[in-house]
Amino acid sequence: IQLAVREAQRLSGNSAVVFTPHLMADQQERLQLEARLSQALDRGEFELFYQAQCDLHTGRLAGFEALLRWRAADGLVGPDRFIPVAEDSGLIVPIGRWVLLQACRQASAWHERARALGGPLPVMAINISPRQFQHPDFMTTVREVLKATSVDPRQIELEITEGAVMDHADATIAKMAELRELGLHLAIDDFGTGYSSLAYLKRFPIDRLKIDRSFVRDLGVDAQGAAIARAMIQLAHSLDMTVVAEGVEEEAQADCLRTWGCDLMQGYLYARPLPVGEATALLDAKLGAALHDS
Ligand code: C2E
Ligand code: MG
Ligand code: MG
Ligand code: MG
């Protein structure tokens, strides 16, 4: 309880915290989660799911986004519950390293499969948290993972949020330039949700914008929703970036996005996040179908 009080004070930045039972329960739950999370790597409880991205114009599978899952003793825990805890506690650094290694290994294996079937290089998009990106060892980790997995770096796309790039702008630009020199691609995730100035877009070497699914959801709601999604696509293209729309659930949304020139889509309409075996089967099926078409 002492620990929980101190934690509550730290979080609120206030030494005179009103200590309610509700707060105590929250804090206790959080500390327990953190304790279990700190052992999850050693216990091999993490697993990557993969969600396919589809080229809106050719209809072909373009690649996958790696999405972390935690198979805890009491069931599968989604990242929205544990990533914030991992981020606050610093556990995201070793966890993120594991994700990077695992996803690059998988990308390399899929590259072999695609090559054997004469298909294009499937992209692997990997989420990088702000704290992980800003960690002094990040570049070393990336280099080590590339070497250990001998993945083609052009296959890898790192997804970074606006929050991660807005702070420490000069250091960030330098780091991004280094990543691109290695051959990697960079995407801004959840674009439009970060309350940041758009000016950063021209300063940072970014290849792709991912339109957040809240905008995709609003796209069919009214004229304003449509105007915003459309403007985001135009903005990306005028800055020589490609665009992925997140959270596409309906055919009508895909049709609008295609008409407006959006490059890729990702969402339940095309595929859900899948365990590795099912994602591999999807890749094989799509590669086979593409082979059949041509
Ligand atoms: P994100 O990177 O924006 O990932 C997209 C999220 O949208 C995923 O949630 C995905 O399952 C969900 N999604 C995809 N299509 C649809 C759809 O059509 N409808 C709806 N309603 N949702 C859809 P998920 O897997 O729960 O991940 C949530 C967030 O957790 C991710 O958002 C990302 O910010 C974070 N995350 C996931 N894996 C990692 C990781 O390995 N490292 C880091 N740092 N963050 C991760
Ligand atoms: Mg993402
Ligand atoms: Mg996203
Ligand atoms: Mg999102």
pLDDT digits (tens, 9 = 90+) for 33-78: 999 999 999 999 999 999 999 999 999 999 999 999 999 888 889 9
Gap from CA of 264 to ligand 1 centroid (Å) = 16
Please report the pLDDT score of residue 1 as a whole number.
45
Pairwise CA distance, residues 56 & 54, whole Å: 6
268 lines ligand 1 (CB under 6 A): yes
- Nearest ligand, CA 128: 1
Model pLDDT for residues 103-128, shown as the tens digit of each residue: 999 999 999 999 988 888 999 999 99
The confidence score (pLDDT) of residue 142 equals 98
pTM attached to this predicted model: 0.91
pLDDT, average across residues 166-174: 84
Q: Are 225 and 218 in contact (CB under 8 A)?
A: yes
Report the residue among 67, 100, 218 best suited for mutation to probe ligand 1: largest number of ligand atoms under 8 A from its CB: 67
- Whether ligand 1 lies within 6 angstroms of the CB of 212 is answered as no
Q: Which residue type, as a one-letter code, is found at position 125?
A: A
pLDDT at 213: 95
At 131, phi and psi to the nearest 5? -65, -35
Would the CB of 68 count as within 6 Å of ligand 1? yes
- Going from the C-alpha of 146 to that of each of 102, 108, 220, 239, the distances in angstroms are 11, 10, 41, 28
243-255 confidence digits (pLDDT tens): 999 999 999 999 9
ipTM: 0.98
Backbone angles phi, psi at 10, to 5 degrees: -60, -45
Instruction: Indicate the pairing of strand 61-72 with strand 123-127.
Output: parallel
The predicted pLDDT at position 19 comes to 54
Testing ligand 1's pocket by substitution, the residue of 80, 127, 162, 190 carrying the most ligand atoms inside 8 A of its CB is: 127
Work out which ligand 1 atom sits closest to the CA atom of 87.
44
Q: How far is the CA of 267 from the centre of ligand 1 (A)?
A: 10
Integer Cα distance of 52 and 273 in angstroms: 7
Task: Count CA within 13 A, CB hemisphere, residue 218.
Answer: 14
Phi, psi torsion values for 70, nearest 5 degrees: -115, 115
Strands 75-77 and 61-72: antiparallel
For the chain, the average pLDDT equals: 90
Distance CA 87, CA 132 (A): 8
